[in-house]
Every structure is written in C-alpha cells, then in structure tokens.
Structure 1
C-alpha cells in the first residue's frame, strides 16, 4: 500500500483536505433558521466562513508539519491523515438531516443542551471507529518499521 511515492501521498493529503473544505460547508447547505433577533448577523456568518476557509488549511498544514518532528517516511502519517480527513464528511452525510433538525431546535431554544440522538451517535461513532481500526490495521500490516 505504501508503494506510492511520498510525493503522491502529499498530493493525496492535499486533495483530502480540499475534499473536506468543500464537503463540510456543502453539508450545511439548506439550513434555514427561523427569524430570531438572537440570530447571527450576516457579517458574523461571513467572518466565520472566512475563518473556516483560511484557518482550516493552516490547521491542517500544522498537523502535517508534525511530520517534520520525526525522521523517516511520511507515507504512513499522510495515509492516516488523508483517511481521517476524508472520512469526517462521509460520516456526517447520512445523518445530516437529523443534525440539522437538532441544530435548528437548539437555535430556537438556546437554553437546551445539544445531545445527539442514538441513531446519529451510533452511526458517527461507529463509522469513525471502523475507519480508525481499518487505518491502524493497514499501517500495521505494511512493512513499515521492518528492517531489510
């Protein structure tokens, strides 16, 4: 699996980051809030959007920069990073409607705590747990760390 050159893994990591940056805002498309005086202003919404689009890649670059702290091939780290970043929007997509309903309910009654329903929690936690197990198993199954 790690026969892909390191440059290829960097390209995959960049593409996974781009997928994340496009998919996450797309998941929120269609959210309609009731008219509420406590609703955020358009300017605050735009500031948050710019923070996401500018801060997200900076955060991801810092995470990938952690590779510089260790010697050796970056392929396993880039593989794990790409798998996790790409799986987050995929985990949310099937339960998007439930999450939007909960968000709207919380906006209408801000004093309530946000709590995932069982189906949503089981799906998201279960899916991400399976992804983590598969990624760890894939890294452990490679010849990474073996001496020739």
Structure 2
C-alpha cells in the first residue's frame, strides 16, 4: 500500500499535468528515467520545451494560513534552474477542487505567499478545459 505522502505527491503531479494541458501546453509528459524534473511540456506560445518540478502546497495555519511550497530535492537542496525551469505548486485540500500555481524557478528552497499575494506573484493555472485555447494555437 502506498504511503500518504507518495499518494498525495502522485495526485499533485496528475493535477499539474492536467492544468498544463488545460492551458495549452502540449506533449505534457513524465520521464521514463529518473530526472531532476517531474514533468516536461512544450510552451504554447514559443514551442520551446520546458521542465517542471511539482510540489504539493502546504497551508501553514501557524503563519496565518500562508501557502508554502517546499522546493527541495532529495538532498535537501533547492532546485537549480538547470534542474527545472518552473515550479508547479498544487494545493489540494480535503473535499475541495485543487488549485495550481506556476512559478519561475528562482533557486529558492521555499516559496511563501498568502492566497492574495499568490494571485499577484504566481500564475494560477485553471484545471478547467477551455477548447478555445487549442483552437487559437492550431489556427
């Protein structure tokens, strides 16, 4: 039986991939080998390949409900830009629709924001499918 953290992590990766697809990213995939990133995809505007490290967001009740993304690798170090271009944070609270934010990887070990500041500093990706995104990119 999978551990809770493993199951939640896999859930976050699936939600992140769905959010990328819903927002026009193409060829969204995971690697068959161990890599420093979780997901790769083609940018809908430039066609460039980008890499993403997916992390589950924790809501810190001891810090007025601030959102925190712990962006550390297995050795406890921050992901460098050569490890991943972007960090994707997934907030999945019990019984609620998940929310997904995209952040440029700045090599930090932690990214903090209130929900209000997150909407200003981070790019929130909807998981709702908008077929118009695909029609616009294929035209």
Normalising by structure 1, report the TM-score: 0.27
The structure in which a higher percent of residues are strand is 2
Normalising by structure 2, report the TM-score: 0.28
- Which structure would you say has the larger RCO, counting Cα contacts within 8 Å and 6 or more residues apart? 1
Flag the structure with larger Rg.
1
